Structures are given as structure tokens and as C-alpha cells.
Structure 1
Amino acid sequence: MYSSPEQGGLLLSSLCLLSSLLLNTPLCYGGKILVYPVEGSHWVNMKVLIEELYDRGHNITVVRTSTSPYIAEKSPMYTSITIQNDIVFHDFFDSFIEMQIKAQREGASALTFLKLTKDFLSMIGEAHYLSCKVVSQMLDDKEQVKRLQEAEYDLLLTDPAITVGLVLARYLNLPVVLNVRWIASGEGHFAIAPSPLSYIPVSGSGFTDKMTFIQRIQNMLFKSIIMFQQNFVVGPIYEAMCTKYFKDGCDIISLLQEADIWLMRSDFVFDFPRPTMPNVVYIGGFQCKPAQPLPADLEEFVQGAGEHGVVIMSLGTLVNKLPADMTDQIASVFAKLPQKVIWRHLGKPPSTLGNNTLLVNWMPQKDLLGHPQTRAFVAHGGTNGIQEAIYHGTPVLGIPLFFDQYDNLLRLQERGAAKILELAKVNGPSFEQALNQVLTQTSYRENIQRLSSLHRDQPIKPMDSALFWLEYVIRHRGASHLRTSANRMPWYSYHSVDVFLLLLAAGGSVLLTTGLLIRFFWRTCQNSKNKIKKH
């Protein structure tokens, strides 16, 4: 019984409010989602999204190649469409990485930079060409196309680092959600949002949002390389494909700009502030979760470190091994530490390996980063690892190898949460000095924990935001109302060149007319004076 009529009325009002909220909450019954992923670490975070979508009752189909080293053909979470071919993407990444490491250790020069740029563009072009062949194989198979059309998917989820998934989406006339940070020509924002080069550093430049005059010149030069890659290396591959399958054709940028939602794997705790668009949803750290208990043997090793704690080292999914002499020097430094070390290392064990160092083929990285015993993370600077370090508040010693890794680490270093040690400078003394600095200077831990606090202080979790917008696109069959009309404007209209020229012409006409009138009246006055003098 209620102690008073007021309490009974309050409960009734609360029940009515709860019922209203439940009835007005948008529902999204299990949708049918086609996923076109990218290999390597990109698949790692795509798989996290797939797991959550599966748990919410969605039906998921993943396109993969028969030679995929990461994407399993059979999974309880999804069905797969396997395209038979003999393409092994991992092979040419391995050879490029080996060449990149060798070039960095030999020292930087203009000739080395040009050679690396040429080889990089060649590798990127080959990757896109082979990926286009995979989708062409699908679209040329009439039975396969029929099955795809009859499946009646609600949307296509893809990673635009390889843009070919967007070609498939356009052919099937499906709404598109991008799981994105990188596109074929650099960072994703550059394709859809205003990006002034005066304070927005181009990918690969190694600059912050505070550039000197010389750095702004260099930033424009880096942008010109990106534009060359877009217009002459990658662009023609997609344009040929668009010409083949679409009457009106298309290009790589228009394909990107037609996407409904961009799930951006970044946020402004990590990245520098910049202009954005309403269909860009920031989900930086969406894959991060509280640390889970370690396996018993690993927990015993970690606890054996006592008050000194542990250091963990991992250089990501693409790096099989560093040069032997470098690993020997790193191992010798680890052997001197009072901390214990867990090192994800593939290949022959270093000859200088200490008793305090445990080599593993795989480690529960998220759980180790969140363990109270972990003191530092030696990492290559991949986006996933950096965001996990921010989430768990673990300071970073970064050894960037290629792609976006230096830029990622630079963002942490600028905030005092990481130290960068360039690969060319890695040796015993430099590695020891850098690691001891991260371990002993309390500012690194304080700054990364401040970033962690900022990252976690959000009204909605990044994963919940990602799921909401994915289901939003399913519910509304797209989100075209969030796309800017600027994408359909010619360059001279976008920059108001035509308006400026009209105003310039109008102003010039007014000035010219005024000048002519003044000249006319002046001459009239002069003629009148001359006539008066004659008389």
C-alpha cells in the first residue's frame, strides 16, 4: 500500500513516463548487412563492429577472398561470400615493410625519399588494382549478382582504405556506412570537409596544427603528392571500373562523397581540432573495453614483477620481425630493467634475451594495457594500439615504421603522453634512454591518464554511437539529408570565384562609369570656361 496519495500518484506518473519512452524509442529489427572489409588491422576493428551487430540480432554477410589470412570463411557471427583467387595481399606488404625499414636505417636523403614514395605509390596502385579485380569477378558472375540482389541487403558496411566496396554498393543500390579513418588518398576528412592546409597537417607530413611558414610550404608539397596519388595512380583504376559498370561513370571521390554515414575511428582527444560534417560520427576508441583477467600463467608472470611492474611491446599485425641486430640491442636493454617485459616477437629469439623478458606469439594487448602492473607500452603507433593506450591510460614509447604511425604518435607526443624514437635512431643507448624517460618521468603517465579521463567523459559510448547510426541508416534507408550539397558544386562555385569575378566586374564598371562621368563633366566645365573667356 502507498503511504500517501502523493506517492501513489508519483509512481503512476513514473510508469506512464517509462511507457512513453519505451513506445517512442526507435526500433530496428534485425537488418541484413553486407560487409566489404580490408585485411590486417583494419579487419580487427571491423570484426569488433560485426560482433556487436551480431549480438543485436543483425544478419551479416562478409565478402572475403579465398587467400585471406585474417578473415575466416566460417564464423558463428556471419556468413561469407568467398571469391576464389590467388591474390595474397600480405606478400607485397611484407616486402614493402622490409624495404622501408632498410631505407630508414640507412639514413634519409632526397633520393631515398623519392624512391620510397615511388615504391609506395606502386604498392598502393597494385593493391587497389587487385581489389578491383576481386569485385569485377563478382559483378561479372551473373549468378552471384542475382544472389546478391535477391538477398535484399539493407546497407553495405565497408572500409574505404580500399574503395572498391563502394563500387559494389553503387551497383547494388545500397546505402553505405563507412568504418573509416583512411581513404585511398590519405585521411578521410579531406574528401568531404573543408581542410585548410594552413593548420590541418596532411597525412605523412609529420606536422602538428601549429606550422611554421616553411612547414606550411612543405604541407602543400605533401598534399600535391596525395593529389598525384589520387588523380594518376588510384583514380584511373576506379574510373575504368566505373566506365565498365555504370552508364554515367563515376570517380573515387564521388563514390566516397555519396556515403551516408562516416564512422570515423578518431576523436578530438586524440586528433587536432578541424572542420567536419554532420554525417561524420566520431567513434575513436570504440573497440576499447575494460580489461579482463589475464590467463593464469601470464598473470603469474606479471605479478612476479612486484612493485616495478611490466613493460609490454608489440609492433602490430603487419610486422613479422625487426632486423636481428636491432632486436638484440632492444633485448639487451630489456634485460637491464627492474621491470618484467612481455614482448610479442615472431622469429628467432634475440641472443641477448634476459630472464625478465617473455616472448609471445600473441598477447591479450587490451587486457595487459589495462592491468595495474603495466608501466609502459612500446608500440609502432597503429591507430588501434594508440586508442587502447589512451583508453587505459598507459604511456607510450613509439617506434613508427610506416604509413600513419608517426603522425599518430606525434599527436600523443604533443600532449606529453608519448615519446617517439625514430627507427633510424634505434640502438642500445638511444632505446635505453627513451624507455627510461617514459618509465621514470611521471609527466608521461599523468598526461596519458588525463587523456584517458577526457576520452571516457562522453554522453554516449563510441560503440553505442556507431550502432545507433548503423541502425539509423537501416531504419531510414540512408541518410542523404546529412550530405552537403558542396560535393555537387563546381570548384569555381564552391570557392565563389564566379561571385568574386562578378563583384569585381560590377565594381570595376561602377568605377569606370564614375571616372567617365567625372571626365565628361570636367571637359564640359572646361569647354564652358573657354567659351566665357573668348567672349
Structure 2
Amino acid sequence: MRLGCAWLALGLLLHLNLHLDVGLAANILGVFPYRLPSPFQMVRPLVKALVKRGHSVTMITPLGYLPDIEGVRHIRVPELNKLMDDLMETDKFLDLLGSKWREGRLTAKILYNVSHAILGNDGVQRMLRDKSERFDMIILEASHLDALYGLAEFYNASLVGVSCLNINWNIDYLAGNPAPSVYEPVSPIGFALDYSLLSRWHNWIYITEEKLLERLVFRPSQLRVFKKFFGYPAQKLNELRERFSIILVNSHFSMGRVRANVPNIIEVGGLHLSEPPDPCDKELQKFVDEAKHGVIYFSMGLDVMVKYLPINMQQTLLQTFARLKQRVVWKNEFSMMPNKSENIYVIDRAPQRQLLAHPNVRLFINHGGLQSVIEAIDSGVPMLGFPLFFDQFNNLHRVQLAGMAEVLDTNDLNADTLTETIRELLENPSYSERAKEMSISFRDRPMSPLDTAIWWTEYALRNRDTNHMRLNMEEIPLMRYYRLDTLLTFGIRFACVLGSITFLCCRLYQKHRNRQRRLLERRRAFMQMQIRMMMLECETAS
């Protein structure tokens, strides 16, 4: 009897445990239209961890980008591949370097085509028409693809954002964190990086212009797609923009920029470090191990190929590396480089994290991609940056201000300047010491970035309403939000003092003028009297 009761109790426990596991499992839809490999480095470990925890994940991605993940249903959108290929084959891509409004119009058209391609895809349409499909959460890039927010309303699902790049004012707005700032533009081309009063004024105008572009160009184009595929009114899109439960951002306060965040902005910088690094082959391992004077690792990332670099820059790099006594590992698609010196090891795909973790690697020369900067900080390796576009300038500027990097302009590069900068980074111990300090701070967290991302993602599943984590602008009067009450009080006091001083100066000036006028009148009267006396004397004499 007791044995039977024990088995019954065990069975009930197992059943309840199984029931709880199933109850926690959710259907999650991820939409990631990236056409570059680096952003997927952040997405991949998150998706794998969600699948491992029992969640059912469906992903919408371009064809061939992000290889199939076991346990994930993939919906591929080949139209996304064609859109990018067509763009790269035309001269329109060069317009991105023009004026902001021309850049904005072209970007809005690209984003319109991306949203339209995803929602118009046959596989996505079949999913939308299938009445048995349901999703508890929509995860997507928190960018200007507003039309895709309609998926959250269509499935009555939680909306979670991911930012693979640095945070900006638009992400702040989506997260309910509209703090007035002049430091985080969407596009940093032409944005001033110094903190002078004139630069701050310029940056305020710059970001105000971006906000106008978002309101007048980006959002209307997305609204057309939103209405076409979902049929919701414009007001619904505005509501969805305020429905983000959390936003996972690929940054951390230890990376050189401390900012004020609301609780639903979750910093998970280094999330991709949860995956095991690629190993070094024997030949590369031997090359690095036997470097008596240390190793310099040079890579322009996964997205920039050496063949696209200017020839003069390639020659400058070769000349500089030949002067150094350090060995150089160069990530380069040209396995047989002409004029290559013996201290250079060329490799098509380098095990970057494994190299940066090697004690002989003393300097990392890179383009300033966010993943590369994070890996250098994690390993405590000083950097020399060659930023080329978009967020790379800001990424490197922050670590330069932090004291672990130097930045050079690729348009004004010569062998002497490059050699001198490299030697300064290698011989001045302050760069290495600061890099080690930042590494310790970056790693010192209560939870790993992946565990943090998973916990908050499941928090959004458990708590559909997260308004308590956002700033409610309606509850904050304009006067209080911008501290205009303080400014008004100060302004009144200043105006009173200035008015009093002005009034006193005017009175003194008026008094001075009156005195001068009286003196002048006296002199005129005296002169007239003298003239009359002279006339009388002349008449008497005649």
C-alpha cells in the first residue's frame, strides 16, 4: 500500500513538473532581416538558449544568412538577398555619403522594401493565414521597420526589441526612455564627437533633423506597408511603438559610456561571447607562441574585405608591418600577398577570440566594429582603430576616451604616422593597463550577458504589461521634464538683476547726457554773450 502511494505521489510530481515545463514554454517569432554576418553573432546564442529552454522558435531571415539552428523553424526570404544585391550594384549606394535628407530618402525606400519583402513573402503569408498559428512573443531588431510591429498586434503577442548596434535616441523612444540627449544619433556621419558648447548645439540640430526624418520620411513609408498587410489605422502603429516590453542592447556601461536607462533597456554587451571560440590551427598557434616580441593582430572584421581597401592603404600597412619587430597576424582573403614580409602571417578566417586571449597578442588593429571592440575589451587588448562607416567612429571614440585605444584617419594615413602610433601603443604601458582595467570591469557582473538576456526575455513572457518599466510622458509635465521651472526661476532672477543694472546704466547715461547738454548750453550762452559784447564794443568804437 505504501509502495503504491509512493509511486502515485512520484507520478503526480512528474506530471505536475511536466505540466509546469510545458506551461513555461512559449511560441516565439524572431524577425531578423540582416544581410551581414556580424549581427547574427548576437542573435544566434540567444535563439539557441531559448530553444534549449523548451521554447518553440520560428525565425524569418534572408536566404543563407544565419545557418539553420537545430530545433528552429526557418522561414527564408530570398527577396531580402535580391534587394541588397541590387543596391550594391547601383550607384545609389554612394548617395548614403551625401546629405542627410538624401540619405534619409534612400534609407526610407530600402526599409520600405525590406518590410514589404518580409510581409509579402509566400512563407510569411501562409503563416499569417494559418489560423492554428499563434505566437506569445515577437522579437525583432529595434530599428525603423515599424510595419513589422503589426505582427505583435496580429498575434496579440509581447514585443521585444534587439539592438545589435549601440543605442540611439530612437531606441530610447521605443523603450519609453526619451531622455533629452545630444550624444546618440542614429547615423553618426557628420556628428561632432567633442563636447564643446558649439558642438553640442550642432549635435542638437543634427538629432532634431533625424527626428524630423523619422516623423516625415521613415514612418509614413512604413505606415503604407502597415496598412496594406494588416489594415490597422495609423493610431495603432503609434500605440505599437509604445508596446516594447524590453529592448536588449549590445552594450555595457563599462565600455566607456555611462547613460541613464529605464529598467526595460537591458545591457547585454558580450552576449555572443557565450559561444565557444574557434580554435587555432597548429601552424598559427606555433607562429603566435614563438613570437618573442609579441604579436599584432590586424582584422577589418567579417564585413570589410581587404580588396576593397585603397591600394595606397594596403601598401602603407605592408611598409609599416615590415618595419616592426613584432609578428603580425593579418586577416586577409589574399593568401598569397605580394611584397609580404616574413613577420606577417596571412589567414582568410582568423579565430579572433582565441587570438585576442593569447598572452603574446599585444595590439589589435581593427575597423571599430562593435563585436570586435567588445572582444578586445573582454580580452584586455589595446586597440588601434581605422573606422570606415556608421557606428565604428563612435565605438572607437569611446574606447579612445577611456584610454585603451588610438584612432587614425584612413584618408590621411602614411607609414611614418602609423609606425609611430603603433610603437606608442606598444611601449606606453598606460594603454595596456587601462585595457586590463576595462576587461575586469566588463566581466564583473552578477549574471552573464546570455543569462541576463534569457531572464529578461522570460520576464517579458511572464509579464505582458510592462508599463511600470517605462517613463510615462503624460505624467511628467513639460516644465518639469526639461526643468523649465528651475530655468524660469533662474531666468526671472537673472532678468530682474539684468533689468536693474540696465535701468541704472540708462539712468546714469541719461544723467550724464543731461549734464553734458547743460554744459553745452552754458557754453553756447557764454559764446553768444561774448559775441554780443564784441559787437557792442565795435559799434561804440565806430
Class of the TM-score when normalised by the shorter of the 2 chains: 0.7 to 0.9
Mapped contact 1:313–1:377 kept (Cα < 8 A)? yes
Q: Do residues 329 (structure 1) and 316 (structure 2) align?
A: yes
The correspondence for 1:155, drawn from 102, 124, 137, is 137
Q: Do residues 229 (structure 1) and 186 (structure 2) align?
A: no
2:107 counterpart SS class: helix
Mapped contact 2:299–2:365 kept (Cα < 8 A)? yes
Q: Do residues 179 (structure 1) and 173 (structure 2) align?
A: no
Q: Do residues 31 (structure 1) and 26 (structure 2) align?
A: yes
Q: Which runs of 5+ in 1 are unaligned?
A: 1-22, 101-111, 502-535
Please name the residue that 2:515 is paired with. Answer: none
Q: Tell me the alpha carbon deviations over residues 176-208 of structure 1, each in whole angstroms, 9 at most, x when there is no partner.
A: 11111559976622543243336x354526556
Evaluate the alpha carbon distance shift between residue 298 and residue 169 of structure 1 in structure 2; reply closer, same or farther with a 3 A threshold. farther
Aligned counterparts of 1:421 and 1:31: Cα–Cα separation in 2: 48
Within 5 A, what are the aligned runs for 1:110-189? 115=98, 117=100, 120-138=103-121, 143-147=126-130, 150-163=132-145, 164-180=147-163, 182=165, 188-189=171-172
Evaluate the alpha carbon distance shift between residue 253 and residue 317 of structure 1 in structure 2; reply closer, same or farther with a 3 A threshold. farther
Aligned counterparts of 2:420 and 2:232: Cα–Cα separation in 1: 61
Please name the residue that 2:281 is paired with. Answer: 295
Mapped contact 1:93–1:318 kept (Cα < 8 A)? no
Please name the residue that 1:104 is paired with. Answer: none
One-letter amino acid matched to 2:209: I
Mapped contact 1:381–1:409 kept (Cα < 8 A)? yes
Mapped contact 1:138–1:144 kept (Cα < 8 A)? no
The correspondence for 1:469, drawn from 456, 467, 472, is 456
RMSD, matched Cα:
3.6
Give the Å deviation of 1:468: 0.3
Please name the residue that 2:56 is paired with. Answer: 59
Evaluate the alpha carbon distance shift between residue 445 and residue 494 of structure 1 in structure 2; reply closer, same or farther with a 3 A threshold. closer
How many residue pairs end up in the alignment?
Answer: 460
Evaluate the alpha carbon distance shift between residue 439 and residue 473 of structure 1 in structure 2; reply closer, same or farther with a 3 A threshold. same
Please name the residue that 2:302 is paired with. Answer: 317
Aligned counterparts of 1:118 and 1:355: Cα–Cα separation in 2: 49
One-letter amino acid matched to 1:76: E
Q: Do residues 75 (structure 1) and 75 (structure 2) align?
A: no
Mapped contact 2:368–2:387 kept (Cα < 8 A)? yes
Mapped contact 2:51–2:57 kept (Cα < 8 A)? yes
Please name the residue that 2:248 is paired with. Answer: 263
Aligned counterparts of 1:42 and 1:304: Cα–Cα separation in 2: 34
Evaluate the alpha carbon distance shift between residue 287 and residue 318 of structure 1 in structure 2; reply closer, same or farther with a 3 A threshold. same
Mapped contact 1:242–1:250 kept (Cα < 8 A)? no
Aligned counterparts of 1:99 and 1:326: Cα–Cα separation in 2: 22
Mapped contact 1:392–1:452 kept (Cα < 8 A)? yes
Mapped contact 1:185–1:226 kept (Cα < 8 A)? no
Mapped contact 2:109–2:221 kept (Cα < 8 A)? no
Q: Do residues 85 (structure 1) and 79 (structure 2) align?
A: yes
Q: Tell me the alpha carbon deviations over residues 387-422 of structure 1, each in whole angstroms, 9 at most, x when there is no partner.
A: 111111111101111111111111100010110112
Within 5 A, what are the aligned runs for 1:262-281? 262-281=247-266
Please name the residue that 1:530 is paired with. Answer: none
Mapped contact 2:136–2:155 kept (Cα < 8 A)? no
Evaluate the alpha carbon distance shift between residue 447 and residue 44 of structure 1 in structure 2; reply closer, same or farther with a 3 A threshold. same
| Identity over aligned pairs, percent | 24
Mapped contact 2:367–2:385 kept (Cα < 8 A)? yes
Aligned counterparts of 1:181 and 1:494: Cα–Cα separation in 2: 29
The correspondence for 1:459, drawn from 446, 454, 465, is 446
**Worse-superposed segment, 447-456 or 31-40:** 31-40
The correspondence for 2:180, drawn from 176, 191, 196, is 196
1:157 counterpart SS class: strand
Give the Å deviation of 1:253: 6.5
The correspondence for 2:423, drawn from 416, 424, 436, is 436
2:339 counterpart SS class: coil
Aligned counterparts of 1:394 and 1:134: Cα–Cα separation in 2: 42
The correspondence for 2:269, drawn from 284, 293, 309, is 284
Evaluate the alpha carbon distance shift between residue 77 and residue 489 of structure 1 in structure 2; reply closer, same or farther with a 3 A threshold. farther
1:288 counterpart SS class: helix
Q: Tell me the alpha carbon deviations over residues 447-501 of structure 1, each in whole angstroms, 9 at most, x when there is no partner.
A: 1111111111112222111110111122334534323322798979966999x99
2:288 counterpart SS class: helix
Mapped contact 2:387–2:396 kept (Cα < 8 A)? yes
Give the Å deviation of 1:347: 5.2
The correspondence for 1:416, drawn from 386, 403, 408, is 403
Higher alpha-carbon Rg: 2
Mapped contact 2:169–2:184 kept (Cα < 8 A)? no
Evaluate the alpha carbon distance shift between residue 156 and residue 449 of structure 1 in structure 2; reply closer, same or farther with a 3 A threshold. same
Give the Å deviation of 1:304: 2.8
Mapped contact 2:177–2:262 kept (Cα < 8 A)? yes
Q: Do residues 384 (structure 1) and 356 (structure 2) align?
A: no
One-letter amino acid matched to 2:211: M
1:150 counterpart SS class: coil
Mapped contact 2:296–2:365 kept (Cα < 8 A)? yes
Please name the residue that 1:362 is paired with. Answer: 349
Evaluate the alpha carbon distance shift between residue 216 and residue 291 of structure 1 in structure 2; reply closer, same or farther with a 3 A threshold. same
Mapped contact 2:384–2:408 kept (Cα < 8 A)? yes
One-letter amino acid matched to 1:223: I
Aligned counterparts of 2:167 and 2:154: Cα–Cα separation in 1: 20
Aligned counterparts of 1:77 and 1:84: Cα–Cα separation in 2: 21
